[in-house]
Homo-oligomer: A and B are copies of this chain.
Amino acid sequence: MTDVQPAPTGRRARGGADARRAARTSTAIRQAGFIRRKIKLYEPFSDEQLELIERNAETVLQETGIDFYEDEEAVAMWKNAGADVKVSEKDPRRFRVRFPKGLVRSLIKTAPREYTQYARNPENNVVIGGNNTVFAPVYGPPFIRNLDEGRRYATIEDFRNFAKLVYMLPSLHHAGGTLCEPVDIPVAKRHLDMTYTHIKYSDKPFMSSVTAGERAADSVAMCELLFGKEFVDQNCVMTSLINANSPMVWDGVMLGALKVLARANQACVISPFIVAGAMSPTTTVGTLTQILAEASVGIAFTQLCRPGAPVVFGTFAASMSMQSGAPTFGTPEPALVTFGAAQLARRMGVPFRSGGGLCGSKIPDAQAAYESSNTLWPTLLSGVNFCLHAAGWLEGGLASGYEKLIMDADQLSMFQKFCEGADFTENGQAMDAIAEVGPGSHYLGSTHTQANFETAFWRSGLADNNSFEQWRDDGEKDIVVRANTRWKKLLSDYEAPALDPGIDESLTEFMAKRKAVLPDSVS
């Protein structure tokens, strides 16, 4: 396993390096650390089945090909690498790229099996890959929902609230990226506020803006102010989401961000975004084939940009309501896709991203919980290394839920304990306890129970396990009401992790300069 070492000294300005490091790292929040899985994986597919999918994906790459759209540089790079490139007769911006057998696989060989993403607090560094699982919150919704206000458009204040909450929730190991879309800030500028918020209000690792190459470049520049330019060039400080335009298209927007990030040695999560039945075949094996073809081309492309750049095999898969066309979550078919894609990623030798607490429900009711659990179990047992949307996701990704964030985070801590597996030491075997207590008695006061009392069982921070009468007298609250109380308490208790004032000032200056030249109107 890659050693997790503290990030070294940041940029050379405004005060001593040691002081800045200390300032970057202080935090009152006790974090759980990412999951180092001690239990086995669940691998439902056989080697023969996976080989079949790999052969089929090779066939797709050779015969059908992948379209590159609005990025001539990328097309030229593929041509140089030996791919067959044909421009579309209908659209000169569209190129069909076909890949000779083995080309894509051979390019992927330079990708690392795992990598460390550094946080400004080295205690929050994460190792992505191997037996590890890193949980990151919901990404992308334009709306928020909470019990008080219902559903409304998100603002930068919501974004800050979510950043603060994620910072305070130990089971979220990663700060994520677009916690919600701050629609009150112009599109061309909001990536600056989001990146700044992640740096200022949290000290966990975070994600880059990817909505344009120049916005990704701004994220890199801000990281250089925080960590130092040389450090950023040699180490991963952002893991960022690059979605394929399925089926089988990589477009200029995503490629633009990918090129900036990979060349800056920053990790790209190469993610086919699939609603099966619409963006892929209706079947699990057909979907896996397409995912493998799309992802492997994106992964290979990061290595064309910079061999050795960290990269993650991503998969986002939903099924589709064949009645309404809406994506559906918590269903069995995406679960199988997750298990299969995880196995394919391990065979490829790169970290894997999938899963999350996905649901279609508009509200954090039992539908949301069933669906989220049905996504989280496959996430954990398949061996997902980087889990985006692990908490806070509602309404098919259209809303970030305040209560849902708290509820899911509680579940994540359950999974974290599960991944520790069983203790087979003498204390775990408890033979003395069984002999001491014997038939017809109870273990409550036994030596063994007393000794293991504190850590014996995972304890939910939200579940009500009181008697019916106690629960009734407490006002018959459901879990959403308790979660509502919890996030408000967390926000009122929040204290920002210290940030070197010099760094803070340089970031603020950078933002002001960029905002001065960026338009308010561009989308």
Chain B residues lying within 8 Å of A103, measured Cβ to Cβ, are: none
A188 to chain B, nearest CB (A): 27
Q: Are B468 and A438 in contact (CB under 8 A)?
A: no
Q: Of the listed stretches A233-241, A273-281, A299-307, name the one at the interface; the rest are far from the partner chain.
A: A273-281
Q: Given A248-B440, A439-B249, does the pair A328, B463 have CB atoms closer than 8 Å? A: yes
Q: Are A457 and B319 in contact (CB under 8 A)?
A: yes
A153 to chain B, nearest CB (A): 12
Chain B residues lying within 8 Å of A431, measured Cβ to Cβ, are: 56, 59-60, 286, 289
Of the candidates B286, B287, B449, the one whose C-beta lies within 8 Å of that of A277 is: B449
Chain B residues lying within 8 Å of A420, measured Cβ to Cβ, are: 332
A149 to chain B, nearest CB (A): 14
Of A49, A289, A448, A468, most buried by chain B (CB within 10 Å of CB) is: A468
Of the candidates B284, B411, B421, the one whose C-beta lies within 8 Å of that of A370 is: B411
A305 to chain B, nearest CB (A): 21
Of the candidates B282, B331, B471, the one whose C-beta lies within 8 Å of that of A448 is: B282
Chain B residues lying within 8 Å of A442, measured Cβ to Cβ, are: 247, 278-279
A71 within 8 A of B: no
Q: Of the listed stretches A20-28, A105-113, A125-133, A356-364, name the one at the interface; the rest are far from the partner chain.
A: A356-364
Q: Are B40 and A277 in contact (CB under 8 A)?
A: no
Q: Are B429 and A285 in contact (CB under 8 A)?
A: yes
- Nearest residue in B to A325 (C-beta to C-beta)? B444
Bound together, the chains give a CA A320 to CA B468 distance in angstroms of 16
Chain B residues lying within 8 Å of A94, measured Cβ to Cβ, are: 440
Q: Are B281 and A449 in contact (CB under 8 A)?
A: yes
Q: Given A414-B332, A434-B289, A444-B277, does the pair A284, B423 have CB atoms closer than 8 Å? A: yes
Of the candidates B290, B362, B444, B478, the one whose C-beta lies within 8 Å of that of A464 is: B362
Bound together, the chains give a CA A69 to CA B439 distance in angstroms of 11
A513 to chain B, nearest CB (A): 38
Chain B residues lying within 8 Å of A453, measured Cβ to Cβ, are: 282, 322
Q: Of the listed stretches A6-14, A219-227, A260-268, A373-381, name the one at the interface; the rest are far from the partner chain.
A: A373-381
Q: Are B247 and A441 in contact (CB under 8 A)?
A: yes
A521 within 8 A of B: no
Q: Are B286 and A322 in contact (CB under 8 A)?
A: no
Q: Are B364 and A467 in contact (CB under 8 A)?
A: no
Total copies of the chain: 2
In the complex, chain A residues 1-48 whose Cβ is within 8 Å of any chain B Cβ? 39-40, 42-45
A196 within 8 A of B: no
Q: Are A247 and B440 in contact (CB under 8 A)?
A: yes
A311 within 8 A of B: no
A163 to chain B, nearest CB (A): 24
Chain B residues lying within 8 Å of A319, measured Cβ to Cβ, are: 456-458
Q: Of the listed stretches A73-81, A333-341, A486-494, A502-510, name the one at the interface; the rest are far from the partner chain.
A: A333-341
Of the candidates B52, B282, B430, B464, the one whose C-beta lies within 8 Å of that of A281 is: B430
Bound together, the chains give a CA A374 to CA B412 distance in angstroms of 12
Other than the given A42-B42, A286-B433, A367-B464, 13 more pairs (CB < 8 A) read A66-B439, A247-B443, A277-B457, A283-B430, A285-B423, A321-B457, A322-B454, A331-B417, A333-B417, A340-B422, A362-B464, A363-B476, A366-B480
5 A-B pairs in the complex with CB atoms less than 8 angstroms apart: A65-B439, A280-B443, A281-B433, A282-B430, A366-B480
| Residues of A participating in the B interface, judged by any CB pair closer than 8 Å | 39-40, 42-45, 49, 52, 56, 59-60, 63-67, 69, 94, 96, 151, 245, 247-249, 276-287, 289-290, 319-328, 330-333, 335-336, 340, 360-374, 377, 381, 395, 398, 407, 411, 414-415, 417-418, 420-424, 427-431, 433-435, 437-444, 446, 448-449, 452-454, 456-460, 462-468, 471-472, 476, 478-480
